[in-house]
């Protein structure tokens, strides 16, 4: 058989590598498409006036599932005095929210959900056009991820032909009380309580400042509970020594390794069938045993820490458990339904916990202990898991990242093998 020249072999190698890379790119997301030059300029810091903060201290995100279906007038807090909102109507249906916003100016032609830099690189089809409504206002409609949450948008100036960054917040306190399924914090009481101990709520936004306020209150009142602050932020008055039952999970249970949940160590052998938590307080789900993804929303605390969403859902004997990936390395245990669960991370990475999901589509009260402030502090949170968002485990960012690395390794190995075969053919 006639041997192909080396040049043809190299072409084959390059073609295979190109196809492999394109396949990997298609598997993990679309190729970015950039906007045209007409919408590629972003206003610099020297071209904008200083923005003001939006929202109030102690606000936590309110999702669509926490609001009854309907259309409501809602106040919008805006960071820029030049982006003036005349009115806004919030529409809630089946847990999804949209906002129809009227501006008092036609100075802008486009809106983008994100920063100005992101808008300049986005596809033009992602822009939201500002149009004139039947009342003669400049108006646009955007999806709303959550109320009482700072949202970044960019507006495109028709005169400057540049994107300008804005921060907006849809104020849940302006809605009728009957429209909400949750009770909002008493923000005036929070503000008064913090002012009473000498803290300016306009500047107090760090968890460390809150902890200092808590300790100062304790010393002033001669008490260890720090009730004035802990009630406003959900910080438990109890110490790090908890009376809750300590159910430590084995560190080899992390379900994103693909291992069976029955391979737990003796430390959790008391759990039925080796489940990652007590089966009695985990809600039942209509899914086969295995691993999935599920969206989770967290409220409470100072807002400085977060958990990954979607997160890993583990179904064992028909019961639902979640593996939570925290953004911080300082959480050492969680308490759910009176049971303590230890941090599964042992290598210094961000804290992870496998806990039972005791309720779907409703806030689950939990406590998480953090050492980020020096002394251990227990902080109260509410976790809401959404049953209609259950999907493939590959949607969990930590698992998807590992798949990308595996594909990249495969490409490297494939290239090395093809290179070896090419050299071997050359010397025959």
pTM of the model: 0.46
Q: Can you tell me the distance from the alpha carbon of 74 to that of 180, in angstroms, rounded to the nearest whole number?
A: 13
- Domain positions in the chain: 6-31+399-426, 39-179, 187-233, 245-395
pLDDT value at position 5? 53
> What pLDDT does residue 76 have?
96
Residues listed for the chain: 428
Report, in angstroms and rounded to the nearest whole number, the Rg of the chain calculated over CA atoms.
Answer: 26
Q: What is the pLDDT of residue 118?
A: 92
428 residues of the chain, pLDDT tens digit each: 444 454 556 666 666 666 665 555 555 444 333 445 678 889 887 677 667 888 877 778 899 999 999 999 999 999 988 899 999 999 999 999 999 999 988 999 999 999 999 999 988 889 999 999 988 999 999 999 999 998 999 999 988 899 999 999 999 999 999 999 888 887 777 777 767 766 665 554 433 344 444 444 444 434 333 333 333 333 333 333 333 433 433 333 333 333 333 323 323 333 333 345 444 589 999 999 999 999 999 888 777 788 888 899 999 999 999 999 998 888 999 999 889 999 988 777 889 999 999 999 999 999 999 887 777 888 999 999 999 889 888 888 766 555 544 555 555 666 566 665 555 555 55
Dihedral angle sign, alpha carbons of residues 154, 179, 95, 293: positive
Beta-bridged to residue 131, according to DSSP, are 139
Distance between CA atoms of residues 137 and 102, nearest Å: 6
Dist CA 413 CA 421 (whole Å):
12
- Alpha-carbon gap, residue 415 to 426, rounded angstroms: 16
The enclosing H or E element of 372 equals: none
Output the pLDDT for position 55.
83
Q: Which CATH architecture has domain 39-179?
A: Sandwich (2.60)
Return the pLDDT at 163.
94
CATH topology of domain 245-395: Immunoglobulin-like (2.60.40)
> CATH topology of 39-179 equal to that of 245-395?
yes
Q: What is the pLDDT of residue 156?
A: 94
In angstroms, rounded to a whole number, what is the distance separating the alpha carbons of residues 163 and 17? 39
List Cα–Cα distances, 145 to 96, 97, 220, 293, in angstroms.
Answer: 8, 7, 41, 19
DSSP classification of residue 8: H
Q: Which among 14, 17, 10 is positioned nearest to 413, based on CA atoms?
A: 17
């Amino acid at each position: 058989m006639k041997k192909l020249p080396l040049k043809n072999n190299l072409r084959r190698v390059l073609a295979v590598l190109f196809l492999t890379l394109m396949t990997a790119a298609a598997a993990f997301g679309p190729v970015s498409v950039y906007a045209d030059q007409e919408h590629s300029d972003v206003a610099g810091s020297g071209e904008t006036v200083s923005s003001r903060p939006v929202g109030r201290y102690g606000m936590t995100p309110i999702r669509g599932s926490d609001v009854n279906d309907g259309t409501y007038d809602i106040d919008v807090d805006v960071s820029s005095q030049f982006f003036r909102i005349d009115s806004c109507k919030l529409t809630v249906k089946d847990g999804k929210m949209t906002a129809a916003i009227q501006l008092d100016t036609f100075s802008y032609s486009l809106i983008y959900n994100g920063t100005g830099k992101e808008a300049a690189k986005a596809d033009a089809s992602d822009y939201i056009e500002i149009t004139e409504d039947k009342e003669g206002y400049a108006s646009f409609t955007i999806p709303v991820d959550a109320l009482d949450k700072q949202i970044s948008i960019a507006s495109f100036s028709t005169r400057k032909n540049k994107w300008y960054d804005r921060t907006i917040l849809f104020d849940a306190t302006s809605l009728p009380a009957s429209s909400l399924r949750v009770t909002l914090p008493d923000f005036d009481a929070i503000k008064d309580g913090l002012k009473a101990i000498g803290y300016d709520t306009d500047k107090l936004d760090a968890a460390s400042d809150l902890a200092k306020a808590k300790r100062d209150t304790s010393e002033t009142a001669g008490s260890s509970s720090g009730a004035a602050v802990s009630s406003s932020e959900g910080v438990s008055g109890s110490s790090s020594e908890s009376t809750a039952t300590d159910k430590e999970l084995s560190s080899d249970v992390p379900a994103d390794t693909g291992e069976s949940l029955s391979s737990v160590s003796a430390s959790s052998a008391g759990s039925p069938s080796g489940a990652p938590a007590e089966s009695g307080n985990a809600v039942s789900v209509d899914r086969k045993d295995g691993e999935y993804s599920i969206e989770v929303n967290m409220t409470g605390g100072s807002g400085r820490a977060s958990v990954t969403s979607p997160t890993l859902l583990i179904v064992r004997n028909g019961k639902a458990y979640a593996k939570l990936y925290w953004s911080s390395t300082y959480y050492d245990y969680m308490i759910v339904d009176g049971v303590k669960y230890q941090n599964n991370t042992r290598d210094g990475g961000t804290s992870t916990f496998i806990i039972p999901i005791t309720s779907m589509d409703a806030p689950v009260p939990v406590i998480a202990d953090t050492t980020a402030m020096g002394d251990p502090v227990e902080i109260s949170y509410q976790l809401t898991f959404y049953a209609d968002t259950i999907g493939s485990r590959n949607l969990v960012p930590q698992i998807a990242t590992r798949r990308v690395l595996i594909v990249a390794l495969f490409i490297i190995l494939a290239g090395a093998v093809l290179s070896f075969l090419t050299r071997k053919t050359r010397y025959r």
